[in-house]
Amino acid sequence: MESGIEKSETLRDTVREFVERKAVTNTILGVIIFNAITLGLSTSPSVQSSIGPALVLIDKIVLGIFVAELLLKFYAYRLSFFNNAWNIFDLVVVTLGLLPNRDGLSALRGLRVIRAMRLLSVIPQMRAVVQALLDALPGMGAVIIMISIVFYVFAVMATLMYGPDFPEWFGSLGKSLYSLFQIMTLESWSMGIVRPVMEVHPTAWIFFVPFIVITAFSVLNLFIGLLVNTMQSAVEDESVEEFSHLRELVRSETDIVDDRVKELLVEVRALRREVAELKGQTDG
């Protein structure tokens, strides 16, 4: 039994070493890029009609490689596999490709392509960029919640006030949220939505103009907060180093003076001893 466990541990180590090997990760990267290209080619009807079956086969092989890679990784790391957010990301985007792929479900057909997003998880520089984007999120939490509350309240109000007359835009809470998002992006907010609404409810601008001003101002503050945070930590690092150099300099310079004064003190004390001796001689 024990040797069985040992063997399994050895095998696990071998597998771990294998999946972490440079050649293997590079091969996987190559497969991802190759698959990204074949997925792109599969959008062309002419390519589809000439080498369509080949593309389907390639897709199945690539999916097989990805599944094998994930299984090996899961075998190698066991549950600590899930400690790495990128593994979970890979798991999700690969799993989406295993969903049934009927012709009727064109949405699911598209989801399969999300697998090419693995380019972001496999290239280290891309990981760093995505990480930086995600790191910015927590600092934005409170403002995002505030904007969400404002959105929710305005959406409920819009549904109650304008829903009956404009069911297409404000007929339900979901439709109102979508329409308010569109208005926040300023797309056709006036010509497309608010002017028609004002023909029925002439005071509707009292609702929509403040909504635009509030969300624009909130998004602006979100952005300023993000910017100040990034800037501050950048400037801080720089300045902390400069200050630390300066402190070091002040210390070392005063130490030099201090050392010389100490030297002087030794001399003066020696002098006192000599004078004391002299005094003793004279006394004698």
211: three-class secondary structure by DSSP: helix
In contact, 155 and 177? CB cutoff 8 Å? yes
Residues 12-71 that bind a copy of itself (CB under 8 A): 36, 39-40, 42-44
Closest CA to 207 of 217, 196, 197: 197
Closer CB to a copy of itself, 71 or 256, in the complex: 256
Q: Is 282 in the site for a copy of itself (CB under 8 A)?
A: yes
∠ CA 142-219-177, nearest 5°, is 85
Q: Is 205 in the site for a copy of itself (CB under 8 A)?
A: yes
Q: Which stretch binds a copy of itself (CB under 8 A): 49-57, 58-66, 72-80, 240-248?
A: 240-248
Q: Is 116 in the site for a copy of itself (CB under 8 A)?
A: yes
Selected binder of a copy of itself within 158, 166, 180, 197 (CB under 8 A): 158
Closer CB to a copy of itself, 76 or 117, in the complex: 117
DSSP tag of 191? I
Closer CB to a copy of itself, 11 or 275, in the complex: 275
Closer CB to a copy of itself, 72 or 214, in the complex: 214
**Considering the complex, what minimum distance in angstroms separates the CB of residue 21 from a copy of itself?**
25
Closer CB to a copy of itself, 72 or 120, in the complex: 120
Selected binder of a copy of itself within 159, 166, 210, 211 (CB under 8 A): 159
Selected binder of a copy of itself within 74, 77, 89, 178 (CB under 8 A): 178
**Considering the complex, what minimum distance in angstroms separates the CB of residue 3 from a copy of itself?**
47
Question: Which two three-digit tokens encode residue 254?
Answer: 């005063």
Q: Is 257 in the site for a copy of itself (CB under 8 A)?
A: yes
DSSP line for 262-281: HHHHHHHHHHHHHHHHHHHH
Dihedral class, residue 188 (left if φ above 0, else alpha if ψ from -120 to 50, else beta):
left
Residues 182-201 that bind a copy of itself (CB under 8 A): 182, 185-192, 201
Selected binder of a copy of itself within 23, 104, 107, 138 (CB under 8 A): 107
Q: Is 163 in the site for a copy of itself (CB under 8 A)?
A: yes
Rounded distance between C-alpha atoms, residue 64 and residue 191, angstroms: 51
Rounded distance between C-alpha atoms, residue 153 and residue 140, angstroms: 20
Closest CA to 137 of 225, 236, 231, 214: 225
Closer CB to a copy of itself, 57 or 271, in the complex: 271
Neighbours of 189 (CB within 10 A): 19
Q: Is 277 in the site for a copy of itself (CB under 8 A)?
A: yes
Rounded distance between C-alpha atoms, residue 206 and residue 210, angstroms: 7
Question: Which two three-digit tokens encode residue 197?
Answer: 């609404």
Closer CB to a copy of itself, 19 or 218, in the complex: 218
Neighbours of 16 (CB within 10 A): 15
